[in-house]
């Protein structure tokens, strides 16, 4: 199992100018990122949509490298997004998936068949040309260059430690420092994108 | 090319509305009612088709495309739209995504009695989310599609076009 913050710190030096959608890793990434205006920490607008959102961003900005930190709960909720990503095959899209084997934000209940799913195999079977799976930080850290050095879409499954929350949602401390719409407007400003 | 009688809503008219409004991507889930449109869209080199396998994916995909400065349209059926409630809320409304969704109005009838619950709940669903919608039944109604695009852009909200061509062409 990998500590999510450690994993993101290992990834950070390889980020370059990539657009990063931190997904479930957003809490840590906002403290690590050195280019917040190139990040899209939109939180969790509706569970299951991050992969398709990442696809849309990647297709709309083919000159930019787009990196998504998805979760296994999200992927399970909309597994049909994987064949769409594979069909559209955005060469600039890198799909990392944090697998903590549970629904951490609701108290840590296991996802279906939590310990026996090979997400990298599912991604491969969906048509991703390259897939990886890691359960320790050292192997992941030594492979980041290889992962990002090839054309996308690439899928990377990462076994991470659960960060279980039991506090009622309304009582949790917000880690977001900007609203979702501000995050989007900041990225558009950074890239010079006009329009609504 | 399929021939259409005067007044019918033809796929060519719908395509012309998309082009007029600068649509770059069509995010859609194919169904028999839109097959004629599919053939035209597929043949158009300026349109990028993105097939999804569950309609909720269309809203998050469209959100991503919009963030990057593109202009997607969502093409789905009313059944799938109702399945997509949380995605419409989260990825459409809460991110202020100005997207037009063209919704095949399965079961719509202006004559006789509706017997399809897909039609029964379509407008109630849209009203519950506060989504403005425009009914398009024939070629004469086609300019409403442009009205929907203008409204989506101005309000930064999803707007629906209900395709209720009862007997002919696009929605048969």
pLDDT band at residue B149 under the 50/70/90 scheme: very high
**Positions in chain A whose pLDDT score sits under 70:** none
Counting the structural domains of chain B, the total is 1
* A101 in a structural domain: yes
| CATH number, domain containing residue A79 | 3.40.50.970
What would the pLDDT profile of B60-75 be if each residue is shown by its tens digit? 999 999 999 999 999 9
**Has residue A196 been placed in a domain?**
no
Residue B22 sits in a domain of what CATH number?
A: 3.40.50.970
Taking one residue from A and the other from B, the number of pairs with CB-CB distance under 8 angstroms is: 118
Max CA pair span of chain B: 46
Q: Using an 8 Å CB-CB cutoff, list chain A residues near B153.
A: 196
The answer to the question of residue B110 being in a domain is no
Cβ neighbours of residue B140 under 8 Å, at least 6 residues apart?
Answer: B7
CA distance B146 to A57: 25
- B140, part of any domain: yes
Of A153, A53, A71, A87, the residue nearest A119 (C-alpha): A71
- Domain with B38, as residue range(s), is 11-103+119-171
B139 occurs within a structural domain: yes
Residue B142 resides in a domain = yes
* B169 pLDDT tier (thresholds 50, 70, 90): very low
Whether B112 is covered by a domain: the verdict is no
**A70 Cβ partners below 8 Å, 6+ apart?**
A23, A24, A50, A51, A54, A95, A96, A97, A98
pLDDT tens digit string along A54-95? 999 999 999 999 999 999 999 999 999 999 999 999 999 999
The region of weakest confidence among A87-91, B103-107, B123-127 is B103-107
Query: ipTM score of the complex?
Result: 0.95
Give the model confidence (pLDDT) of B4-45 as tens digits: 555 678 889 999 999 999 999 999 997 766 667 888 888 899
Is the CB of residue A45 less than 8 Å away from at least one CB of chain B? yes
Structural domain includes residue A149:
yes
- Asked if residue A42 belongs to a domain, the reply is yes
Task: Report the residue of chain A nearest B88, measured CA to CA.
Answer: A46
- Give B-chain residues touching A53 at CB under 8 angstroms: 60-61, 63-64, 91
What pLDDT is stored for residue A183 in this prediction? 96
Domain span at residue A80 reads 4-191
- Is residue B133 in a domain? yes
**Nearest C-alpha neighbor of A50 from the set A77, A29, A10, A15:** A77
B66 touches chain A (CB under 8 A): yes
Residue A23: other Cβ atoms inside 10 A: 24
Q: What is the pLDDT of residue B172?
A: 43
- Total structural domains within chain A: 1
């Amino acid at each position: 199992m990998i500590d999510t913050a450690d994993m993101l710190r290992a990834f950070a030096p390889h980020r370059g100018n990539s657009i990063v959608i931190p997904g479930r890793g957003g809490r840590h990434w906002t403290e690590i990122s050195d280019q917040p205006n190139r990040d899209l920490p939109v939180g969790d607008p509706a569970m299951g949509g991050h992969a398709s959102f990442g696809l849309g961003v990647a297709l709309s900005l083919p000159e930019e490298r787009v990196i998504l930190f998805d979760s296994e709960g999200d992927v399970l909720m909309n597994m049909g997004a994987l064949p769409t990503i594979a069909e559209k095959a955005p060469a600039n899209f890198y799909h990392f998936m944090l697998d903590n084997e549970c629904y951490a934000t609701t108290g840590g209940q296991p996802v279906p068949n939590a310990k026996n799913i090979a997400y990298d195999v599912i991604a491969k079977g969906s048509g991703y040309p390259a897939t990886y799976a890691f359960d320790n930080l050292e192997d992941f850290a030594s492979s980041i260059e290889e992962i990002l050095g090839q054309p996308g879409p690439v899928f990377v499954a990462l076994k991470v430690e659960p960060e279980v929350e039991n506090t009622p949602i309304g009582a949790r401390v917000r880690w977001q420092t900007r609203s979702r719409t501000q995050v989007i407007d900041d990225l558009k400003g950074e890239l010079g994108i006009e329009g609504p | 090319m399929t021939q259409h009688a005067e007044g019918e809503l033809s796929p060519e008219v719908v395509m012309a509305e998309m082009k007029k409004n600068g649509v770059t991507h069509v995010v859609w889930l194919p169904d028999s009612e839109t097959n004629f449109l599919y053939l035209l869209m597929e043949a158009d080199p300026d349109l990028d088709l993105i097939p999804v396998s569950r309609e909720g994916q269309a809203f998050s995909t469209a959100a991503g495309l919009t963030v990057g400065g593109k202009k997607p349209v969502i093409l789905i059926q009313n059944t799938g739209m109702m399945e997509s409630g949380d995605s419409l809320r989260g990825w459409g409304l809460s991110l202020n995504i100005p997207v037009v969704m063209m919704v095949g109005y399965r079961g719509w009838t202006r004559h006789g009695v509706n017997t399809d619950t897909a039609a029964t709940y379509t407008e109630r669903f849209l009203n519950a989310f506060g989504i403005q919608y425009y009914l398009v039944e024939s070629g004469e109604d086609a300019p409403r599609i442009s009205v929907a695009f203008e409204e989506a852009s101005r309000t930064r909200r999803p707007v629906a076009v209900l395709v209720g061509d009862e007997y002919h062409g696009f929605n048969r």
